[in-house]
Amino acid sequence: MSLQRLMKISLPLFMIFTLLLLPSPTSQAYAKTKVAKQSKIIKTTTYITSFKKVHGKWVGKFDYIQWYFGKAADREFLKDCKCKNDMDHAPDGYWIRNVNPKIRTFTISKNAQFVLQTRNDYQVKWNEKVTKTQFITFLKQRNKDHQVPFHIEIKNGVVTKITEQYIP
Protein backbone atom coordinates (compact mmCIF):
# COMPACT_ATOMS: atom_id res chain seq x y z
CA MET A 1 0.00 0.00 0.00
CA SER A 2 2.78 2.45 0.62
CA LEU A 3 4.12 1.85 -2.89
CA GLN A 4 0.73 2.78 -4.37
CA ARG A 5 0.61 5.87 -2.28
CA LEU A 6 4.14 6.85 -3.31
CA MET A 7 3.18 6.38 -6.97
CA LYS A 8 0.09 8.53 -6.59
CA ILE A 9 2.19 11.38 -5.21
CA SER A 10 5.36 11.04 -7.29
CA LEU A 11 3.75 10.52 -10.73
CA PRO A 12 1.91 13.87 -10.73
CA LEU A 13 5.03 15.62 -9.41
CA PHE A 14 7.14 14.03 -12.16
CA MET A 15 4.63 15.18 -14.81
CA ILE A 16 4.62 18.73 -13.46
CA PHE A 17 8.42 18.96 -13.55
CA THR A 18 8.48 17.49 -17.07
CA LEU A 19 5.96 20.05 -18.31
CA LEU A 20 7.92 22.86 -16.71
CA LEU A 21 11.07 21.81 -18.57
CA LEU A 22 9.43 21.52 -21.99
CA PRO A 23 9.74 24.59 -24.22
CA SER A 24 6.57 26.56 -24.66
CA PRO A 25 5.65 29.33 -27.11
CA THR A 26 5.92 31.82 -24.26
CA SER A 27 9.40 30.71 -23.22
CA GLN A 28 10.56 30.69 -26.85
CA ALA A 29 9.28 34.23 -27.42
CA TYR A 30 11.05 35.36 -24.26
CA ALA A 31 14.28 33.72 -25.39
CA LYS A 32 14.06 35.41 -28.80
CA THR A 33 13.62 38.87 -27.30
CA LYS A 34 16.63 38.39 -25.05
CA VAL A 35 18.96 37.66 -27.99
CA ALA A 36 20.73 40.80 -29.13
CA LYS A 37 20.19 41.52 -32.80
CA GLN A 38 23.36 41.84 -34.85
CA SER A 39 23.67 45.28 -36.38
CA LYS A 40 23.84 45.22 -40.13
CA ILE A 41 26.87 46.86 -41.75
CA ILE A 42 26.04 48.82 -44.89
CA LYS A 43 28.85 49.09 -47.44
CA THR A 44 28.60 51.62 -50.25
CA THR A 45 30.72 53.72 -52.57
CA THR A 46 30.54 57.50 -52.34
CA TYR A 47 32.09 60.84 -53.01
CA ILE A 48 32.80 62.83 -49.86
CA THR A 49 31.33 66.30 -50.31
CA SER A 50 32.07 67.58 -46.79
CA PHE A 51 33.97 66.40 -43.72
CA LYS A 52 33.97 68.66 -40.67
CA LYS A 53 33.44 68.92 -36.94
CA VAL A 54 29.91 69.91 -35.89
CA HIS A 55 29.01 70.34 -32.20
CA GLY A 56 32.07 68.34 -31.14
CA LYS A 57 31.42 65.39 -33.51
CA TRP A 58 32.92 64.66 -36.91
CA VAL A 59 30.28 64.64 -39.63
CA GLY A 60 30.61 63.67 -43.27
CA LYS A 61 28.37 64.40 -46.23
CA PHE A 62 28.32 61.63 -48.81
CA ASP A 63 27.08 61.38 -52.40
CA TYR A 64 26.41 57.70 -53.22
CA ILE A 65 27.79 56.51 -56.56
CA GLN A 66 27.97 53.26 -58.48
CA TRP A 67 31.52 51.97 -59.05
CA TYR A 68 32.14 49.47 -61.86
CA PHE A 69 35.40 47.72 -62.71
CA GLY A 70 36.52 45.36 -65.49
CA LYS A 71 33.85 43.80 -67.72
CA ALA A 72 31.04 45.35 -65.64
CA ALA A 73 32.61 48.77 -66.26
CA ASP A 74 32.71 48.12 -70.01
CA ARG A 75 29.06 47.04 -70.03
CA GLU A 76 27.83 50.05 -68.01
CA PHE A 77 30.03 52.50 -69.93
CA LEU A 78 28.52 51.36 -73.22
CA LYS A 79 25.01 51.79 -71.77
CA ASP A 80 25.77 55.36 -70.73
CA CYS A 81 27.95 56.76 -73.50
CA LYS A 82 26.07 55.56 -76.60
CA CYS A 83 29.42 55.54 -78.42
CA LYS A 84 29.78 51.91 -79.57
CA ASN A 85 31.14 53.11 -82.91
CA ASP A 86 34.05 54.97 -81.28
CA MET A 87 34.86 52.91 -78.17
CA ASP A 88 34.17 49.37 -77.06
CA HIS A 89 35.30 49.56 -73.42
CA ALA A 90 35.43 51.85 -70.39
CA PRO A 91 38.41 54.21 -70.29
CA ASP A 92 41.02 53.08 -67.74
CA GLY A 93 39.00 49.93 -66.91
CA TYR A 94 36.51 51.54 -64.53
CA TRP A 95 33.24 53.45 -64.79
CA ILE A 96 31.44 55.64 -62.26
CA ARG A 97 27.75 56.43 -62.41
CA ASN A 98 26.05 58.98 -60.17
CA VAL A 99 22.31 58.74 -60.75
CA ASN A 100 21.05 60.13 -57.45
CA PRO A 101 22.09 63.65 -56.42
CA LYS A 102 20.91 63.14 -52.81
CA ILE A 103 23.59 63.99 -50.23
CA ARG A 104 23.52 61.86 -47.09
CA THR A 105 24.93 63.04 -43.77
CA PHE A 106 26.47 60.67 -41.23
CA THR A 107 28.37 61.03 -37.98
CA ILE A 108 31.87 59.55 -38.07
CA SER A 109 32.65 57.07 -35.30
CA LYS A 110 35.32 58.07 -32.78
CA ASN A 111 36.91 54.69 -33.58
CA ALA A 112 36.53 54.92 -37.37
CA GLN A 113 39.22 53.40 -39.55
CA PHE A 114 40.70 55.42 -42.41
CA VAL A 115 42.48 53.68 -45.30
CA LEU A 116 44.24 55.44 -48.18
CA GLN A 117 45.96 54.29 -51.37
CA THR A 118 47.49 57.58 -52.58
CA ARG A 119 48.37 59.72 -49.56
CA ASN A 120 51.63 60.55 -51.29
CA ASP A 121 51.22 62.06 -54.79
CA TYR A 122 54.25 60.19 -56.09
CA GLN A 123 53.61 56.63 -54.99
CA VAL A 124 50.78 54.23 -54.29
CA LYS A 125 50.84 52.61 -50.86
CA TRP A 126 48.08 50.00 -50.84
CA ASN A 127 45.66 50.02 -47.94
CA GLU A 128 47.64 52.38 -45.74
CA LYS A 129 45.88 52.83 -42.42
CA VAL A 130 46.04 56.47 -41.37
CA THR A 131 44.83 58.56 -38.47
CA LYS A 132 41.81 60.84 -38.69
CA THR A 133 44.17 63.84 -38.78
CA GLN A 134 46.13 62.36 -41.71
CA PHE A 135 42.86 61.61 -43.50
CA ILE A 136 41.61 65.17 -43.05
CA THR A 137 44.93 66.50 -44.36
CA PHE A 138 44.55 64.22 -47.41
CA LEU A 139 41.03 65.56 -48.05
CA LYS A 140 42.23 69.18 -47.80
CA GLN A 141 45.17 68.63 -50.18
CA ARG A 142 43.39 66.78 -52.95
CA ASN A 143 42.48 68.35 -56.26
CA LYS A 144 38.95 69.76 -55.84
CA ASP A 145 38.28 69.36 -59.59
CA HIS A 146 38.93 65.62 -59.44
CA GLN A 147 36.54 63.69 -57.20
CA VAL A 148 37.93 60.61 -55.49
CA PRO A 149 35.57 57.73 -54.68
CA PHE A 150 35.57 56.17 -51.23
CA HIS A 151 34.08 52.96 -49.89
CA ILE A 152 32.37 53.53 -46.57
CA GLU A 153 30.97 51.17 -43.94
CA ILE A 154 28.00 52.30 -41.87
CA LYS A 155 26.79 50.59 -38.69
CA ASN A 156 23.74 51.89 -36.81
CA GLY A 157 23.81 55.08 -38.89
CA VAL A 158 27.45 55.87 -38.03
CA VAL A 159 30.40 55.62 -40.43
CA THR A 160 32.92 53.13 -39.04
CA LYS A 161 35.35 52.85 -41.97
CA ILE A 162 36.37 54.96 -44.97
CA THR A 163 38.62 53.51 -47.68
CA GLU A 164 39.90 55.44 -50.69
CA GLN A 165 39.22 53.75 -54.04
CA TYR A 166 42.37 53.85 -56.14
CA ILE A 167 41.83 55.30 -59.62
CA PRO A 168 44.55 54.62 -62.20
For residues 105 and 6, the model is more confident at: 105
Backbone angles phi, psi at 125, to 5 degrees: -125, 100
For residues 32 and 108, the model is more confident at: 108
Q: Which band of pLDDT confidence, cut at 50, 70 and 90, is reported for residue 27?
A: very low
Nearest to 103, CA basis, from 37, 42, 49: 49
CA–CA distance from 162 to each of 67, 69, 135 (Å)?
15, 19, 9
Q: What would the mean pLDDT of 62-83 be, rounded to a whole number?
A: 90
Q: What is the pLDDT of residue 155?
A: 97
Measured CA to CA, the distance from residue 11 to residue 163 in angstroms comes to: 67
- pTM of the full structure: 0.74
Q: What would the mean pLDDT of 134-154 be, rounded to a whole number?
A: 89
Please report, as a single letter, which amino acid is at residue 123.
Q
Q: Where are the domains of the chain?
A: 41-66+102-164
Which letter does DSSP use for residue 99 in this model?
A: -
Measured CA to CA, the distance from residue 101 to residue 95 in angstroms comes to: 17
Q: How many CA atoms lie within 13 A of 41 on its CB side?
A: 8
Tens digits of per-residue pLDDT, 85-125? 788 888 889 999 999 989 999 999 999 999 999 877 678 89
- Residue 50 neighbours by CB distance under 10 Å: 13
Measured CA to CA, the distance from residue 151 to residue 168 in angstroms comes to: 16
Instruction: Tell me if 62 sits within 8 A of 46, measured CB to CB.
Output: yes
Q: What would the mean pLDDT of 22-49 be, rounded to a whole number?
A: 69
Check residue 90 and give left, alpha or beta (phi > 0: left; psi -120 to 50: alpha).
Answer: beta
